[in-house]
Structure 1
Amino acid sequence: MIRLEEITAAVSLGQAGDRDAARTQLTALWDAIDDGPTRCVIAHFLADVQDETEDELTWDLRALELVSDDQWLPSLHLSLADDYRRLSQADRAHEHLNAAQAHLSKLPEGDYGDVVRSGFDHVAEALAAGSVQRLESNPST
């Protein structure tokens, strides 16, 4: 049985800069389970440790397919908007940014909600400016 601690430990590796180890551990966790909601979380975090935007998009799309909690929708759509923005697909980026905005009210108050709302503003500004550069930090997690 996959424990939250295992996911958290793998995510922490990525946040500390060891993206390869995080990717390896998260992929092993992905392969070890078939629980949709847990796989959604793992896919969302796996996207964050990819080196190529195309790979990040693939994992974010997998996460969206598995989402079962509406609270994740703003973050997932925001990640997709940022992926498409960096891939110079502005129309798709706008679609997902609009979807993220439509779900912002589902976010809780507090740190998580604040991070996603702030990420929304950053992605919206970068999209409006025509930027395709990676943002300093992940906009949604």
Structure 2
Amino acid sequence: MTEQREASEDAVMTRIGQAVILLHAGDREEARNRLAELWAELDEDGDSLHRCTLAHYLADAQDDPADELAWDLRALIAAEGLEERLAERPPPGGAEPYRAVRVFYPSLHLSLAADYVKLRRPEAARLHLARARAATEALADDGYGNGVRAAIARLERRLAAEPGQGEGPPPRPFPEQSP
């Protein structure tokens, strides 16, 4: 039974990955449709990791900044649910799963900050940038961690330099998220 569940969970991540490949290849509509279909299949009480990952990529597939924000908020809520679940029932292996969840927060808050900039809500953007910056301690000193830190710094500079603070569409913090 456990092997069946693990295979099923791998299948969900595989399907997310396949849709993300479409997204990065520029087929936003097909990616959005596949991700939305998978979201509909997940139970509200389904695996928080799947929900977090799926919502994070669904945000990237949106054309409307308000829809993008809504999906990024869902991703953050799912990450918080995953952290709560791990705190209640720690898996064998100690604190490593906690660190793994904390690695999500810089990127999730960075995405929310970028959403708020697009929506011309600079104060909300600054709040999430501060949260992203504070959460970077969980990031490793590797390509991913350095990329997230650099994207945070770019968005911080952009907000600090702009007199209108949030006017017009910002550059995406991650090149692979470009429309």
Q: Normalising to structure 2: TM-score of the pair?
A: 0.73
Name 1:21's counterpart in structure 2: 30
Name 1:30's counterpart in structure 2: 39
State which of 71, 75, 79 in structure 2 corresponds to 1:63: 75
Name 1:88's counterpart in structure 2: 120
Alpha-carbon shift at residue 111 of structure 1 (Å):
2.1
> How much identity, in percent, do the aligned residues show?
40
Please, which runs of 5 or more residues in structure 1 have no aligned partner? none
Q: Equivalences for 1:36-51 in 2 at 5 Å? A: 36-51=48-63
Letter in structure 2 aligned against 1:63: A
- Partner of 1:50, secondary structure, is coil
Residues 113 and 125, structure 2, Cα contact 8 Å, conserved in 1:
yes
Which region of structure 1 is more displaced relative to structure 2, 25-34 or 44-53? 25-34
Structure 2 distance, partners of 1:89, 1:136, is 16
Please, which runs of 5 or more residues in structure 2 have no aligned partner? 1-7, 83-100
Q: Does 1:53 align with 2:65?
A: yes
- Partner of 1:44, secondary structure, is helix
Residues 154 and 173, structure 2, Cα contact 8 Å, conserved in 1:
no
Residues 75 and 108, structure 2, Cα contact 8 Å, conserved in 1:
yes
Residues 114 and 173, structure 2, Cα contact 8 Å, conserved in 1:
no
Letter in structure 2 aligned against 1:135: P
Residues 28 and 61, structure 2, Cα contact 8 Å, conserved in 1:
yes
Q: Per the alignment, do residues 140 and 66 of structure 1 end up closer, same or farther by CA in structure 2, a change over 3 Å counting?
A: farther
Which region of structure 1 is more displaced relative to structure 2, 3-12 or 55-64? 3-12
Name 2:91's counterpart in structure 1: none
Q: Equivalences for 1:1-12 in 2 at 5 Å? A: 1-2=8-9, 3=11, 4-12=13-21
Q: Does 1:99 align with 2:140?
A: no
Residues 37 and 66, structure 1, Cα contact 8 Å, conserved in 2:
yes
Q: Normalising to structure 1: TM-score of the pair?
A: 0.91
Q: Does 1:73 align with 2:108?
A: no
Structure 1 distance, partners of 2:173, 2:129, is 17
Aligned residues: 141
Structure possessing the higher radius of gyration over alpha carbons? 2
